[in-house]
Amino acid sequence: RLSTSTSTQFISRSCFLFVAVLSNVLHCKMPIGFAEAERSAEAQLAGMQREIHTEDKLEYKFFPNYSQALKFKIKAAHDAHVAITEGPVEANPMYEIFFGGWGNAKIAIRKNREKPEVIEQPYPNTLSAGEFKEFWITWYDGAVNIGLDDNPTPFLSWSDPAMLNGQFFGIRTGWGATGTWIIEDNWAGWRAPATTPWQEIHDSPGWNIGPPAPVGTTQPTWVPTSGTNIPPDAVPGGFDNEQLYIGRASHAGSVTPGKVVPSHGVCYVAWGGAEHGIPDYEVLTGCNPSWIPVLGDQVPDHAFPAGTSETGEQLFIGRAQHGDTVTVGKVQKSHKVCYIPYGGQEIAKENFEVMVL
């Protein structure tokens, strides 16, 4: 399924990744091209980025977030708003952060949609319609903090003795402005990681739903079901206007992992160039997996096997960004891609994440 061009691109990118890692180890100076490769490699390890467009419409688009931290770039003339909520709806309790409001002259935080704002900071020309501006927000340790670029020192901070458990964020633009956002999915804020970058298993907090399972309770189980009957401990894996769950189904001599869309009542699998909706399927339950960013056939040894192809090859669970979604699909190591079912098609993704336990 891979063209000669695709194979060449993969080999080239793998070589760049190796050279970038070697550069970090040796701490040596290298030509510009290799430095760019190093930055690309670091970006792959950090996680995926999503580009999202918002119209001149004061309605939030919501996405899950369990890191309590958000890093993004925004290109808008003014009035780019971020909401922090406990669910994917505009409802109290909630925080709202206004970037470039009041004539593109300030940044402010509002709680529970009540005026006046709890804190505000003059910031002339906050945003620009011609270039991206980068910001970050964290809401942990009893405070909402806002900062710029890669500077860990916030320029605006507000302590809240009744911090909400914000597990979703929403974005919007309005008052005559549209926006283009680039969201960094795997950003964990400024808290020190528990492991080194090479040991870290990326938890993709932007898409994992629910708290981590207690140590020693990981017991993955496939539960047969059909239609809209989703087990209460079903394992979430992605998001496409609603939570997607990890499923698998028999199709054309294969057992193929895919995405369960509750409102559709089927498990979608990618096979033979098309997306197939299977009404009788299995749902993964009883565990809290993690996700590791992967390029091509670099499937980790502890990846969770979830099915077999029609030729008997082992299949793994993967997921990848597609548009404004993160979609669950199948990883077939010999093909060096993750196939996701989307829009009636089987779509091959070279950059993806693999599920591990």
Of the candidate ranges 20-24, 75-79, 119-123, the one whose mean pLDDT is the lowest: 20-24
For residue 67, the model assigns a pLDDT of 82
Q: How sure is the predictor about 48, in pLDDT bands with cuts at 50, 70 and 90?
A: low
Which pLDDT tens digit goes with each residue over 175-185? 999 999 999 86
pLDDT at 285 over 80: yes
Quick one: average pLDDT of 153-173? Answer: 91
Domains of the chain: 4-46 (no CATH), 50-184 (2.60.120.200), 221-356 (no CATH)
Q: CB burial class (10 A; 0-12, 13-18, 19+) of residue 67?
A: buried
> Would you say 317 and 328 are in contact if contact means Cβ atoms under 8 Å apart?
yes
Q: In whole angstroms, what is the distance from residue 127 CA to residue 75 CA? A: 7
Quick one: average pLDDT of 139-153? Answer: 89
Which pLDDT tens digit goes with each residue over 211-243? 344 433 457 899 999 999 999 889 888 888 788
The token pair at 350 is 């070279």
pLDDT at 289 over 60: yes
pLDDT at 158 over 70: yes
For residue 169, the model assigns a pLDDT of 94
Q: How sure is the predictor about 12, in pLDDT bands with cuts at 50, 70 and 90?
A: very low
pTM of the model: 0.48
pLDDT at 114 over 90: yes
Q: In whole angstroms, what is the distance from residue 252 CA to residue 274 CA? A: 12
